[in-house]
């Protein structure tokens, strides 16, 4: 490792490189093509970045190409590589789909030493003659188990044909091993040294793997309740875009804090969703396996499988988003009783300790809460006393410890009035009448 790299490494608080970083350094510096296998979150990006930068000759054109399966991973990798490349004044350019291609063409004229891109955009620029790889010496295929399939495999081989390099060094990196990774010499025509540190790597923290049985109709409601768990943020994985969009509508209607990250979004919308989630401004980030492949979200507390992963490899990559760099994590897999049975059968071939999990109040627990029927209890007043209120407890509703005071009506009392004193009769009125009667009698006598 270069001295400037050692200083920066120490300044960031690290004491020693991770197993994959130590294992691939010597063969990569020697020009050997390698296959690096290590758990997610174990520092694979820096494992190929440091030896790559040591071999770069500044000002000699594009010498290294890094391919990633998604725009987000390509931009994330660009940020990491650029941070270290600036220490030796090397230029790094991202070439991803969804970004302004004309602006990318203008930046290519500055002849960056390192390019990070997605296969589709890179092959497009090669076909149009805007990207030339005649000086390329090293090509890294990150998340190789995902990239070396179907269409992207053909694109990578097309890129190789455009390099005109007789001894191009290759680097393949992945968290899981697939069949094609055992056949790299046949596909790429050169020997590849396999370096597997998955059994000795201890960089991942303690991760709990839990299942939650729930019917399809109530799955969104459960997700809403989980989003209210204390200090929980989660990547929520879907298999189908249609289901993701349906849940987006439901959560928005229920005013749940979330964002969505999908492959059909505009680049600016994808970046905004990731930024809001990383900053903790939303609790849930809904995504698919392709969109979230290789994403690094620091200190991510949880991963939720809203839909069952299609295979063990998919589960490994999903669960690898949490519990990184020694932090604890949680993986929740939802499904009805049939789904959970199928999931457990699939996971029997792994070392994961999968157990049932339950939502109790605002926590995920391993013990099933006791079912208590809702009851109403009132403290009735005794004879001769006035009731000021009643304790109204509804078991099983709201927070388990919630008790609220419900005022009761006080006994209605008839209003009482003080008797008014009788007015003393006035004698003036009667005297007047008596005088008028006397006057009338006198008139009758005179007649």
pLDDT digits (tens, 9 = 90+) for 190-238: 899 999 998 887 777 788 999 999 998 899 999 998 888 878 889 999 9
| Same domain as 244, residue 322 | yes
List residues bridging with 196 in a β-sheet: 37
| Same domain as 231, residue 173 | no
Residue 392 reports pLDDT greater than 50: no
User: What per-residue confidence (pLDDT) applies to 266?
Assistant: 79
> Which residue shows structure tokens 């339950």?
358
Q: What CATH code is carried by the domain that includes residue 300?
A: 3.40.50.300
Radius of gyration over every alpha carbon of the chain, rounded to an integer in angstroms: 38
End of a domain among 196, 216, 235? Answer: 196
Provide the number of structural domains found in the chain.
2
In a domain, 428, yes or no: no
In a domain, 361, yes or no: yes
| Same domain as 315, residue 261 | yes
Tell me the percentage of the chain whose pLDDT exceeds 70.
Answer: 81
In a domain, 371, yes or no: no
The rounded mean pLDDT for the chain is: 81
pTM listed for this prediction = 0.70
In a domain, 134, yes or no: yes
Q: Which helix (H) or strand (E) holds 28?
A: helix 19-29
Q: How confident is the model at residue 268 (pLDDT cuts 50, 70, 90)?
A: confident
Token digits for 103? 């602006």
User: What per-residue confidence (pLDDT) applies to 26?
Assistant: 95
Domain that holds residue 214: 207-365
Residue 442 reports pLDDT greater than 80: no
End of a domain among 345, 365, 385? Answer: 365
In a domain, 295, yes or no: yes
| Same domain as 297, residue 166 | no
Q: Long-range CB contacts (< 8 A, 24+ apart) of 162-167? A: 162/126, 162/133, 163/133, 163/134, 163/136, 163/139, 164/133, 164/134, 165/136, 165/137, 167/31
| Same domain as 151, residue 29 | yes
Q: How confident is the model at residue 433 (pLDDT cuts 50, 70, 90)?
A: low
| Same domain as 151, residue 244 | no
In a domain, 381, yes or no: no
| Same domain as 284, residue 141 | no
Q: How confident is the model at residue 436 (pLDDT cuts 50, 70, 90)?
A: low
End of a domain among 162, 196, 230? Answer: 196
| Same domain as 71, residue 173 | yes
In a domain, 327, yes or no: yes
In a domain, 408, yes or no: no
């Amino acid at each position: 490792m270069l001295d400037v790299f050692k200083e920066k490494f120490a300044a960031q608080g690290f004491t020693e490189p991770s197993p994959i970083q130590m294992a691939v350094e010597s063969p990569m510096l020697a020009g050997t093509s390698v296959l690096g296998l290590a758990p997610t979150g174990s520092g694979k990006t820096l494992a190929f970045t440091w030896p790559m930068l040591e071999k770069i000759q500044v000002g000699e054109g594009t010498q290294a190409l890094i391919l990633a399966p998604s725009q987000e991973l390509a931009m994330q990798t660009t940020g990491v590589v650029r941070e270290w490349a600036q220490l030796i004044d090397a230029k790094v350019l991202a070439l991803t789909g969804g970004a302004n291609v004309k602006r990318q063409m203008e930046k290519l004229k500055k002849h960056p030493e390192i390019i990070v891109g997605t296969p589709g955009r890179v092959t497009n620029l090669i076909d149009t003659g805007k990207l030339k790889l005649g000086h390329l010496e090293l090509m890294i295929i990150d998340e190789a188990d995902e990239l070396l399939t179907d269409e992207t495999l053909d694109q990578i081989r097309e890129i190789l044909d455009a390099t005109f390099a007789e001894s191009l060094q290759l680097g393949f990196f992945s968290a899981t091993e697939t069949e094609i990774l055992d056949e790299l010499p046949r596909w790429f025509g050169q020997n590849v040294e396999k370096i597997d540190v998955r059994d000795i790597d201890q960089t991942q923290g303690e991760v709990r793997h839990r299942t939650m049985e729930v019917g399809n109709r109530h799955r969104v409601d459960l997700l809403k309740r989980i989003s209210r768990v204390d200090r929980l943020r989660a990547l929520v994985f879907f298999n189908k875009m249609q289901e993701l969009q349906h849940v987006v509508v439901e959560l928005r209607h229920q005013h749940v804090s979330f964002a969505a990250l999908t492959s059909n979004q505009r680049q600016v919308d994808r970046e905004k969703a990731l930024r809001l989630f990383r900053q903790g401004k939303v609790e849930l980030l809904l995504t698919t396996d392709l969109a979230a492949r290789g994403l690094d979200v620091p200190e991510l507390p949880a991963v939720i499988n809203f839909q069952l992963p299609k295979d063990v490899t998919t589960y490994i990559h999903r669960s690898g988003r949490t519990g990184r760099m020694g932090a604890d994590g949680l993986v929740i897999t939802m499904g009805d009783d049939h789904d959970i049975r199928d999931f457990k059968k699939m996971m029997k071939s792994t070392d994961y300790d999968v157990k049932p999990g339950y939502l109790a109040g605002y926590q995920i627990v391993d013990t099933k809460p006791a079912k208590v029927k809702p009851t109403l209890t009132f403290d009735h007043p005794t004879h001769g006393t006035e009731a000021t209120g009643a304790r109204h407890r509804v078991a099983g509703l709201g927070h388990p410890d919630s008790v609220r005071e419900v005022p009761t009506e006080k006994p209605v009392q008839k209003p009482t009035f003080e008797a008014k004193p009788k007015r003393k009769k006035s004698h003036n009125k009667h005297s007047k009448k008596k005088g008028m009667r006397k006057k009338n009698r006198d008139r009758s006598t005179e007649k």
